[in-house]
Amino acid sequence: LSGVTLPVQTHLLRRVDLLDGGAAQLDHLVVSGDHLFFTANQTLNRLDLATFETIALPGAAVADALTFAHGSLWVALRDGSENRVQALNPRTLSSEGLLELPQSARVRALAFSGAHLLVTQQGGPLQLYHLAAGSMRGHAAPLSPIPSQVFRQGETLTLSLTDTAGISSVRYLNGH
């Protein structure tokens, strides 16, 4: 594609600055659907994408890595010599009743695939956790349509979930 130029109509472009970190180092941007989570100088922050209000996570722990999965924000926290991966409620930033995984070294990265959490430690091994279904909050059970409901051509099919808490996206498959 060398030498290819794309026509850009500048009047169609609009730039909006949502975050101004000033002198702060902004890292680890993660979106949950309703919120943007990020670290500013290693302090966890949440930006509400509806109101653009930013809230800093209280406490002295340093956030080294973030990921969002199964309705929870997963954060690698470091507090003195203690290292842990903590699940947080994205709306309240509370860890009450959620999973905590102690770590032997500083965590550098977190990743999810299905029910598996991969934790990368600084100078240490990779750890793979298989999380039980009970520790994952998201549940995509449909509210509508109800089972065995029949639709005819021209009718409207409404898709909705029983509980949207902890769900950032749902993929509906058409066919088999």
CB 133 within 8 A of CB 70: no
Using the predicted structure, report yes or no on whether residue 39 has a pLDDT greater than 60: yes
pLDDT digits (tens, 9 = 90+) for 114-173: 888 999 999 878 899 998 766 665 556 666 777 777 888 888 877 776 556 556 666 666
CA 6 to chain centre: 33
**Higher pLDDT residue, 19 or 150?**
150
Looking up tokens 């909705």 gives: 160
- The dihedral sign for the CA sequence 157, 158, 162, 168: positive
pLDDT of res. 50: 86
CB 157 within 8 A of CB 145: yes
Q: Which residues contact 21 (CB under 8 A, 6 or more apart)?
A: 40
pLDDT of res. 164: 60
pLDDT digits (tens, 9 = 90+) for 76-122: 999 888 999 999 988 888 888 888 999 999 999 999 888 889 999 99
Instruction: Classify residue 121 as exposed, middle or buried by CB count within 10 Å of its CB (0-12, 13-18, 19+).
Output: middle
What DSSP character marks residue 163?
Answer: -
CB 157 within 8 A of CB 151: yes
| Residue 27: pLDDT band with limits 50, 70, 90 | confident
